[in-house]
Structures are given as C-alpha cells and as structure tokens.
Amino acid sequence: MAPHASSDANALNGSVRQESSPLFTVQSPNVEYTADEIKSRYAYQTTKVTRTADNKLVATPKASNYHFKVDRKVGKVGMMLVGWGGNNGSTVTAGILANRRNLTWDTREGKQKANYYGSIVMGSTVKLGTDAKTAEEINIPFRDMLPMAHPNDLAIGGWDISGMDLAASMDRAQVLEPTLKSLVRKEMAEMKPLPSIYYPDFIAANQEGRADNVLEGSKACWEHVEKIQKDIRDFKAQNGLDKVIVMWTANTERYADVVPGVNDTAENLLNAIKSGHAEVSPSTVFAVASILDNVPFINGSPQNTFVPGALQLAEQRKAFIGGDDFKSGQTKMKSALVDFLINAGIKVTSIASYNHLGNNDGKNLSSQKQFRSKEISKSNVVDDMVAANSILYEKDEHPDHTVVIKYMPAVGDNKRALDEYYAEIFMGGHQTISLFNICEDSLLASPLIIDLVVLAEMMTRVSWKEDTEGAEYKGFHSVLSVLSYMLKAPLTPPGTPVVNALGKQRSALINIFRACVGLQPESEMTLEHKLL
C-alpha cells in the first residue's frame, strides 16, 4: 500500500474541511471554550468496595476531580493501511471515494446512495439530554460530540505484498456492485500500494502467489523498520498531513512465541529485529516503526502483534497503540447476546460458533497456525461477563465454547456464521438459541477501520490532569482501550481488566467524550418522569 504525493498515483488525497461552529455548547462554570481548546473540570464518581474481617462488603462512594483539555483543531489526517490491496483496504477506499463524491449508483434493488452505515462515529447518535420545555430526549450525531476528523477528508495510502493497483484489487475482492466500481475505477486505478514486508513463516503458504510486491528479506531486519518509517514520513510530507494513523488490515499471522531475551522487553525486541530473529512478525515490525515515529498503530487482525516488548516500547515512547482484531459480525452479536442472557439471570453453558467464508481471509485461515490466532480472539469474548456473575458461575467455571472456520470459495465475501447458545433456565429447564447470520464481511469491517482511525486521531488531541496543585496535562495511556467497541480481543494496559461486553464498551467511549466537555454520564433513571 502506498503513501503518496498529491502529484503521484499511490494515495487517495484528502482535503481540509473548514471547521464549523459546534452543534452544542455546555453552559457550566466547569467548562471553558477558547478558539483553540475546550477545557473542563470533571468530578469522576466511583464506588470503592472493601471487605471486613468477617467478609462483609462495605461500599464507599468516591469522587475524584480531573481536568480535561481538547485541542479543537483537527488538521489534515491520513491513514496508511497494511494490506491496502486486500478486501478491506480496497473496499474502504472505494467507500470513502463514493462518499466524498456523494455518488449514487444503480443496483438490482434500485438506486443506492453512498453512506457510512456501520460506523459508530458516522452512523449513530447519542443522548445529549432532555429538552427543557418538552422533556423529550435530545439525540445528536456521535460525530458532533467533539471536533473529529471527517472520513471524507482522509488521505489514504499504504502497503501490500500484492502489487495490483486498487482498481484491480477491488475487482479481485468481488465485494462492490459493478456500477459503483465503474464510477470510482479511474481514481482507484491510479493508486498502487507500496512494497510491504513478507515473512513466509507467519502467513499461510497459500498466500505466496500474491507476494509480488515485497521488500528484500524474509525475516525481521532494521532496514525494514527504517523503510517503513521513511514511507510514513514521505506520505505525511507529500500530502501535507498533520497526523498519520497506521492500521494492520492484512492477513492474519500465526501467533509469535514470546521468548525471553527476544521479544519480552523493549530493548530485547529492538535487538531481536536488528539481529534478524525469526520470531519477530511483520505486524510487530510495522508496530515498532510506527511507535518509534510516535504514529498511532492499530492491529485489526487477531495475532499477538503487541508482544510484551512492543507494549513496553509504546509505553516508553508514549505512542498510541490499539488492538486486536476487528469486531464486525458474529463476535459483535455474541458480545451483546451473552451479556443480555447473563444479565437476565440465564446461565449460558455452551456456545458453538461455525463460520464458512470464501474470501482471501478465509483462504489464509484454512492454515491451522493462522486459524489458531483467530480462534483465540473469538473464544475469549465472554470471559468478563461470566466472571461478573458468581450466582450463575462458580470460580473458574466457564461455558463450553467452540469456534470453527471453514474456507468455502463459492460464498466469497458473504460469510455465513451459525451460532448455537445452550443455556440453563428455571428449575432445570433449558433454552437453545440458534442464529444464522450472513455478513458481507468487508462491508462490516470497512466502517470499523474508519471509526478506529477517527477515534485514535481524536485521542491524540485529548489530555488530562489531576485536580492537584502543580499537576500537568498528559495524554491517555499508550494502550487505547477506549477503542474496544470495534475490537474482538481488546488490548488493555497491563494489570487492568478486559471488558468485552458491548454495552459497557460503548458507554465508556461516550462517557469519556462527555467528560471532555464537562458532562456527567447521562442517567437513564428518568426520575423527572417517575416522581410526579
């Protein structure tokens, strides 16, 4: 995937959108607006629980005061995709082009207009509050909560092991309607990915035929790190960008072994790359290059890109990272349904998930080592929900959970996902829920790419400090767990809990943004309607 110059043909160049006045302002002594910043003072309410000597619980409300600061200037943003010529990369590029040009095209079901459905940023709303006169809920677009980059304005480039231009890649993917492809073909044909790195041991052997656009060398080396850094810097300079976000949307790799002295610390990892150690994956090399240049890096595949050494390096450099694995169809349903069942007091005892798909992701996953990465990311998505209910589940008890993925070329990108949930109900009864979900895989994943880029960029403009004398503003933790809503196996800072429940993930994201403008989480108590 290619970075690129505005005079070149290797990138989709964005534009700078004129900033408009905000949709809403907050009238509060705790909020200050300037031309450049939004500053707020926020009281964070939590409940601390302690145990007495006789094992009784004591709950103590606690309030901590913080200051938040948001840079209102978005600037010009670019995203670079590793795997730009794949199904996801070609689809999201064509989709942004179509939205930028406000295209309409013919389908067998009638006219279709470009949209950003499936994007939490562009396609969902959040409750701001209630109307002072009518008491009706006021809901606003998510994208208007804070000044955010607009996907239409993104410059796009990247790398791919396949040298096809984006028009040919779009045809190979077989995702989009021919009528839409014809409208964007000319621009897509002018985009060509930059050469990527290819370490055959990390992806399935059946991908070798695509690898005609690769840098010299079949294992990690410092030259690869430096070349990626140069690509990012060139892309930024040639497109006049203020920021770049790099995202892995390429093939699933096998898990890398975590080896003491190799990838367990930042220093060891850097030395392992320099010495050409065979247990450093391509995705980790991309992550290291991005971290060293303080460019946010997001892993959209299930492998363990962020080995301990990469995590430590990000923390040392205060560089943002996020992952792992896009949460688009089956897993998103699972993280919502299991949360609902357990919260309803129903004991889920087994989950059987079967998938068959025919795109290149499915072909790559037909290799056992690569499938194992996916199996791990899909299998842990109910752990926190189970652990939260000690009435239904004893310590260390867990539902049986099986994941199967089969490659079926005939169905292409239209993945079939079949799930059976088996549960215990009242007085020894049982409930079985079966779901059959046909998901157009890349059309679900592409909006997640957009959300991850927009939200990661947003977090680079948010800082906070404690409400104590002499405290200084600082950024959020390097591990952007705020992105969890879009990811199957959310990466969290070491020692902090992983949250997979979909509702909690969305609430966390919304409430952090509300805190940035001095608003408390919106209560659903609606006491104003209940205490008449």
Compute how many other C-beta atoms are within 10 angstroms of the C-beta atom of residue 504.
17
- The answer to whether 474 is a known catalytic residue is no
Residue with tokens 């964070």: 44
Q: How far is it, in rounded angstroms, from Cα 435 to Cα 352?
A: 11
Residue 404 is inside which H or E element, if any?
strand 400-407
Sheet holding 57-71, edge to edge: 31-33, 37-51, 57-71, 462-466, 474-475
Cβ–Cβ under 8 Å, residues 112 and 181: no
The one catalytic residue among 415, 419, 441, 451: 415
CB atoms within 10 A of CB 112: 15
Extract the tokens encoding 16.
Answer: 């700078």
Whole-number Å distance between alpha carbons of 520 and 504: 16
User: Alpha-carbon distance 112 to 114, whole Å?
Assistant: 7
- Exposure string over 375-411, b if 16+ CB within 10 A, otherwise e: bbbbbebbebbbeeeeebbeeeeebebebebebeeeb
Distance CA 37, CA 415 (A): 45
Instruction: Centre a 10 Å sphere on the Cβ of residue 476 and count the other Cβ atoms it contains.
Output: 17
Residue 484 CA to residue 61 CA, distance in Å, equals: 27
Selected catalytic residue, list 325, 339, 413, 419? 325
Q: Which of 374, 378, 413, 419 is catalytic?
A: 374
Q: In this structure, what are the phi and psi dihedrals at residue 503, rounded to the nearest 5 degrees?
A: -65, -40
| Listed residue (313, 220, 316, 229) closest to 274, CA to CA | 220
Identify whether the C-beta of residue 351 lies closer than 8 Å to the C-beta of residue 420.
Answer: yes
**Is 415 marked active-site?**
yes
What are the DSSP E strand ranges found in 72-184? Answer: 77-82, 104-107, 110-113, 125-130, 137-141, 155-160
| Distance from C-alpha of 297 to C-alpha of 245, rounded to nearest angstrom | 6
- Note the Cα 337 to chain centre separation in Å: 20
Active site residue 113: no
Q: Among residues 76, 327, 378, 488, which one is catalytic?
A: 488
Q: Please give the single-letter amino acid code of residue 178.
A: P
Q: Enumerate the active-site residues.
A: 325, 374, 415, 488
